[in-house]
Chain A
Amino acid sequence: MRILIVEDERKVAEMVSRGLKAERYAVDVAENGDTGWAMAHTYDYDLVILDLGLPGMAGSELLRRIRGRNARIPILVLTARDATASKVENFEAGADDYMTKPFAFAELTVRVKALLRRGPSNQANVIRVGDLELDRLTQQVRRGGRRIDLTPKEYALLDYLATHQGRVLSRTMIVEHVWDQSFEGLTNIVDVYVRHLRGKVDDLFPVKLIRTVRGVGYRLTDEETP
């Protein structure tokens, strides 16, 4: 899997590329729009991460050109601008996803993986994490065969954690997926729900599935590692 990063901020480019390389992707970096365009139509990339504020060719122009040449390549836009109008404009110009700086790297990798798989990361009807079982059709949850009653919000939270099992999800990502953007800055709502969810899912069992990742968020896993 080969990813092109078009980003003029060297450190952001480095940070993103190092992180993605650690996830075993091949990563190229272009530092301006013109180089980005040259690389994009020379090599075959599986994904483009594109900063909008670029020297040389503007990011939105590059976005239009890449999309004009290849209709199927996923493009993830990074920007410091988060006006909704600009968001809509870029989706219309062909962006597949959109992230506002500053962002959590964990969120970036989640989104990158989602884009590369072209679809939800787990579309199975039944998800299993250790002895936890989610039936997504009936929205029923069992652990060790025992049925657990969850409120709709608790279920939505557990579903989101389970579909991305093993992966760290930031509070912001959780808020964005389970609630909506109005709750940005209100991430303590996540902590409260996670505590309630733990009370139902983990407290009665020796293996704790919901893990806290200090400063980042949560992940759902049955691995033994911390």
Chain B
Amino acid sequence: MNTRSMRFRLAVWHTALLAAAFGVLGGLLYATVKEYLYDSLLETQARRARQIAETLVANTPRTGEDYVVREIKLLYAPELGDRFIRVTRANGGVLYVSGPPNDQSFDPAEVPPANAENRAEFTRLERLHDGRSLLIAAFRAATAREDSYLVEVGTSAGPVDRFARHLLALLAVGIPLVMALAVVGGYFLARRALEPVAQIAVKAENITQHNLSERLPVAKTGDELERLSMALNRMITRIDDAFVNSKRFVADASHELRTPLTVIQGELENLAGDPRLPEELRDRVGSTLEEVERLGKIVQKLFALSRLDAGEAQSEWVRLDMAALAGTTSDQMLLLAEDKRIKVTRETDSPVFVMGDRARLKQVIVNLLDNAVKYTLPGGSVHIKVWASGANGIVEIADTGIGIPQEAVPLVFERFFRVDRDRSAGDAGAGLGLAIVKSICGAHGGRVEVESAPGSGSRFRVLLPLASQ
């Protein structure tokens, strides 16, 4: 999973927001509910405490303490109602304390005395030693004799605490569960929403200068993605136009250059052949003529490239044996190599059939072999190998030449690129030979690769799809 993808980040963000929202909500819920339950429980206790204080304890001077104790037991039966009731005299002596409750939820004897405050009414949460806790409301009952009793009524906080714990547990399990659902849902939602983006990306990836006429899919949804893909399409159209214009310019320019070149070349030839011309001038005319011829060749190559660009790669489309083609071509060029004392070896045993234009594919081999011989020092060797591998026919031309500097390797197929002007001085190619090789390979659905290091030679590899049987 790509953690930097938009759908991942969208899912993370929306999960984080949800987590924060659920967290706050859960916390609030928990705190409020617990608070409310404590409060209402305490209120009940307080009411009862006041009741006991006002109706029973306040009358102690008249009824006597025993009556109060009896009445409390009778009317309130604290043990049965799991309640804690204690009446304490002003001097701290306990007038009455209820017995252990039915459910054994606390031990009344363990409840420490209330702080001898003089407040008339207060509540507290009493934590017992065994970890249990009691909610206690206290009410001070004043009697006619200027005497006072503290009436405490309490009940176990256990049920409320248990409920709160359950709520907490519910939230602790529920929130992550909902979160998980939201994350997964959000991820898929984001993926679905961004699916068109992925499609656009794949399609855009496949658009190169050779298929600029293609366009991205536009989903008629009226949303931002439709706008995006339409904007991209308009951009591709502009790029396409620019490419078409520049190619047309090259085609037009190389076309327009032909006529003046013809005139110059013809006139120079006439001059060179004119017997009245002094020998010294004849030499200079000849030298100019050589340059004109070279210029003519560059123009021709540019024109050839622009035709390849325009997709006019093949004037024929036949099944041909690359091994045989490489064999005959290298035979024809053998003398070039021998002349430089370069040994040419071949490994082209079995036929390797591809589909293509014979003249163009031969041009590929000629250009590569010519380069190999040109950049190999006398005494070196050139090895030609043709074989089939998978779906490709491969022609490899490896030399033991001077090689290509590392930084220049990615550039050798660029038009007009030359490693350095000195080493190809006198070459009419002007750095178009390998560009032509690349164009021809591309037009045949194949490609050309190079491996090279200075001093250890170059290895060019042409890969072409094999012809189906």
Contact = CB atoms under 8 A, between A and B. Distances in A.
A188 interface: yes
B263 A168 contact: no
Given A15-B263, A101-B261, A184-B297, A214 B359 contact: no
Contacts of B290: 214-215
A18 interface: yes
A80 B258 contact: yes
A215 B315 contact: no
Contacts of A106: 269, 273
Contacts of B258: 80, 100-102
B418 interface: no
A82 B145 CA distance: 133
B290 to A, nearest CB: 5
Contacts of A83: 307, 312, 315
B268 interface: yes
B300 A184 contact: yes
Nearest to A15: B266
A135 interface: no
A216 B269 contact: yes
Contact of B286 (A19, A84, A179, A214): A214
B442 interface: no
Interface string B12-36: 0000000000000000000000000
A102 B262 contact: yes
Interface string B254-277: 010011011111111110110000
Interface residues of B, number: 48
A216 B272 contact: yes
A123 B285 CA distance: 35
A2 B367 CA distance: 43
Interface centre among A22, A85, A215, by most chain B C-beta atoms within 10 angstroms, is A215
B17 to A, nearest CB: 64
Interface string B187-199: 0000000000000
Given A102-B299, A183-B366, A9 B335 contact: no
B263 A193 contact: no
B435 to A, nearest CB: 13
Interface in B306-359: 307, 312, 315, 329, 332-333, 335-336, 339, 359
Contacts of A183: 332, 366
B20 to A, nearest CB: 69
Contacts of B288: 215
B339 A182 contact: no
Q: Lowest 8 A-B CB distances belong to which pairs?
A: A214-B286, A215-B286, A215-B289, A84-B315, A102-B261, A101-B258, A15-B266, A182-B362
Interface of A: 9, 11-12, 15-16, 18-19, 22, 80-85, 88, 100-106, 153, 168, 172, 179-189, 192-193, 195-196, 213-216
